[in-house]
Amino acid sequence: MKKDLPKNIVEDIGIAIVLEGETPESKSWYVYIINRKNKPINNVLISSRGYDYTDGKDIQTTVLRHFIGDINGNSFAKIEPIDEALFGLTNEYWLSYYINGTIYDKKFIFLPESVVDSNFVRIPIINKPGVLIG
């Protein structure tokens, strides 16, 4: 039964949308996974998708799957670039990884219009501005 499954809680792992660069014409954004643990995480797999329901229409992006591999402790990896046009959608990142043969998973959700200047923080380890969950 579900109650008998172990509670593998994801801690010290975050997903961030980071402002990579800026010109007068455009901004460059990337999505990162950040491992703030002191140990590596293995076989990192992330699926990403965007969705919304507006004016009676479902809007959905393609589901993308990213195999990152291993991420060392206190390190990060790029997941994908993201277009500013998608910030009006709900952007979901479903993460799974292993530590010592035990699987962990968690869903990270950026709500529509959450990637705005007022939500920016200095992203740990990457040391760039962005929005962090986790």
Give the model's pLDDT for residue 41.
Answer: 97
Separation between Cα atoms, residue 115 and residue 107, nearest integer Å = 17
DSSP code of residue 73: T
Query: Which CATH number belongs to the domain containing residue 43 in this structure?
Result: 2.60.40
Q: Which residues contact 131 (CB under 8 A, 6 or more apart)?
A: 16, 17, 110, 114, 115, 119, 120, 121
pLDDT tens for the chain, 134 residues: list them: 556 656 788 999 999 999 998 888 889 999 999 999 999 999 999 999 999 988 888 999 999 999 999 999 999 999 999 999 999 999 999 999 999 999 999 999 999 999 999 999 999 999 999 999 99
Tokens of 90: 């709900």
Q: How many CA atoms lie within 13 A of 34 on its CB side?
A: 22
Give the model's pLDDT for residue 87.
Answer: 95
Give the model's pLDDT for residue 53.
Answer: 87
The total of structural domains in the chain comes to 1
Question: Do residues 93 and 83 make contact, with C-beta atoms less than 8 angstroms apart?
Answer: no
Sheet strands (E) in 23-99: 27-35, 41-54, 57-60, 64-71, 75-81, 90-99
Give the model's pLDDT for residue 80.
Answer: 97
Domain span including residue 78: 2-133
